[in-house]
Amino acid sequence: MRSLVCLSLLLLTACHTIVTRYGGRRSAKDDAHEADGVILLNGQKTQVRWSDGDSFDFLDGPYEGQGSRLVGYNTLESYGPVHRWGLWQREELYEMTKGDAQVCASQEWECTTGGEPDAYQRVLVNCPKLALEMVKKGRGLAYAVRGKPDPIVLDAMHQAQRARRGIWERGVPRGLITALHSFAENTDPRYKTSSNRVLDTRTGEAFLRKHTDTYELCEEICLTTEGDFSCMVYVPYERRYKNQPPCLIGE
């Protein structure tokens, strides 16, 4: 009887953690994507919790409590089954992302940061060897929003593409959607368009595609690049990690 009571308390605690952390409905299976690890940040050991293959939360150090975004590469979104291209189905690519955080947590990576934030106020962090590892395994994309990516990382992506590793197993489209933004999100009258971001899988450059389209929650948007299509399910940022819609939690 005592064992059953203890088990019940543990389960209640786990459920409470999910609700309070994300502020609403979230699939419990998504917490299994996360993994605790250690990085050497600016020469100092820092505890982190990886949420996917290119971002983590700081658990201690000068940025404790803040989120991060790694630069130089990109991985598929892990908040739900949102990507699709070629012969892949969304759930298949989503399953593949579940091991990304564990790969990141498997080693102590040397990383640097100057503390600069991205558009979502996450700390920008550079972990060059991790970027190379993720891209070599076919789990990541060489990625540059301005200029060109590191040629070593780009070459690693080309090698993974030729070997059909990871996300390239079923072919290499010329463009992949990495970010969707509905025009309805635009609250600044100075801006007459919104933008999606599409990665050129040959150059590693992520280009903006401006538009004035309004997307519905959970609508799948498909874009073409020189005849190749890629698709992504639209979910605004504030619904990706808390109060998730049915398309993200498998309902």
User: Per-residue pLDDT for 213 more than 80?
Assistant: yes
| Residue 87 domain flag | yes
| Residue 240 domain flag | yes
Per-residue pLDDT band for 31 (boundaries 50, 70, 90) equals: low
pLDDT per residue as tens digits for the range 234-248:
999 999 988 999 999
Per-residue pLDDT band for 187 (boundaries 50, 70, 90) equals: confident
Average pLDDT estimate for 212-237: 97
Q: How many domains does the chain have?
A: 1
Q: How far apart are CA 131 and CA 239, in angstroms?
A: 27
CATH code of 53's domain: 2.40.50.90
Residues in CB range of 17: below 8 A, 6 or more apart: 31
pLDDT per residue as tens digits for the range 100-144:
999 999 999 999 999 999 988 999 999 999 999 999 999 999 999
pLDDT of residue 251: 66
Full domain range(s) for residue 146 = 32-249
Nearest to 216 by CA among 192, 247, 251, 182: 182
pLDDT of residue 18: 29
pLDDT of residue 132: 98
pLDDT per residue as tens digits for the range 142-153:
999 989 999 999
